[in-house]
Structure 1
């Protein structure tokens, strides 16, 4: 009988994936070695191979794990929201929360998916397309008149662009946090600039 996994096995795998994603995002998949991943994870190379057989396995886990989490967000939002507007607000809030913690993974998905084999790349991108389609369905539920003009996906991509751009200018220690800005994104997307409400800001010490 094979040895069972120790209690911290999954936690260690997640740590390795996080470190690998940070390295891939900074230096690219092709420019990162397993030695670097092992060092960043505080492991020997032999121990690293106990968790992941090679660098390619890391890339698959990072990209597929990221899109599966996004897919889960769509499913949960649709299940929880009683109206399309409630669903969209949940989608935006959850997406901002997810992206706040997975900028490295998102960059790897965007820039390094090309290194996946055809079958793996198709599987990952198919899930990503399902995520976009899920958002687009909520957009059309909000504005059925836009379905004929096929604007569901374009509006979804504009929304994704707005959310992605947040992380290029927002400062973690700034006056606005992600919890503050997510409702602003929802207001702006759902009703335009006139619907945006200013969040209550704490006085700067």
Structure 2
């Protein structure tokens, strides 16, 4: 009969992933060793291998776990709010809040995914593209005219540019904290979207030829 997992196994795995993400974020995936991860977790190297077979497995679990949490968050908000105009600020606020509590994992996703083999990298980036697609669809539903002019995805990418790199410059508590910053990001983006005029080149290319 197979022996079941010990109590606390999943908690220990989560703690190991958090410590590994912290080390990868601060000193890089390549420069981090399994010995360092074991020391940070207060484990022997042999005990660490009981939970994860190697450093690559840690990287895969960190990156994929983070992006799948983001996808679950999008779906959760969609289930809560059907109105895309109301949903957009909720999505933005929830994502900024999530990044605040997962900065190490997010840095690993943005910087160390390049070390994954193609199959793993494409699977994880595929989930990331799905997250962006949900935002694009929400923007297009809130502003159908922008969707018709194929501006929904570029706007979604601009929004992610704002959110994704907060951790590179923002220092919480000086004087704002993340709960203060999240609505500011939403307000900035939404005010811009609501008042946005499509570039003249987009307008002219969208016009029927006989209208000239």
Which position in structure 1 is the counterpart of 2:130?
A: 130
Alignment partners' CA distance in 2, 1:142 and 1:42: 50
Distance (Å, rounded) in 1 between the aligned partners of 2:24 and 2:98? 19
Mark the runs of 5 or more structure 2 residues left unpaired by the alignment.
Answer: 196-212
Residue aligning to 1:188: 188
- Counterpart in 2 of 1:67? 67
In 1, Cα distance between equivalents of 2:28 and 2:50: 23
1:178 match: 178
1:85 aligns with 2:82: no
Relative to the length of structure 1, the TM-score reads: 0.89
Quick one: distance in 2 between partners of 1:169 and 1:114? 23
Between the aligned partners of 1:166 and 1:110, the Cα distance in structure 2 is: 12
Structure label with greater radius of gyration: 2
Give the Cα separation in 2 of the matches to 1:116 and 1:56. 8
Q: Normalising to structure 2: TM-score of the pair? A: 0.86
Distance 2:56 2:133 in 1: 28
Cα distance change on mapping 1:178 and 1:193 into 2, 3 Å: farther
Structure 2 Cα separation of the partners of residues 62 and 32 of structure 1: 14
For the pair 1:46 / 2:56, whether they are aligned, the reply is no
Matched, 1:3 2:3: yes
Report the equivalent of 1:14.
14
Match of residue 109 from structure 2: 109
Cα drift, residue 25 of structure 1: 1.4
- 1:200 — aligned with what? none
**Which sits farther off after the overlay, 112-121 or 134-143?**
112-121
Structure 2 CA distance for aligned equivalents of residues 123 and 194 of structure 1: 34
Q: Structure 1 CA distance, aligned partners of 2:146 and 2:8? A: 49
Query: Aligned residues, how many?
Result: 195
The RMSD of aligned alpha carbons is: 1.8
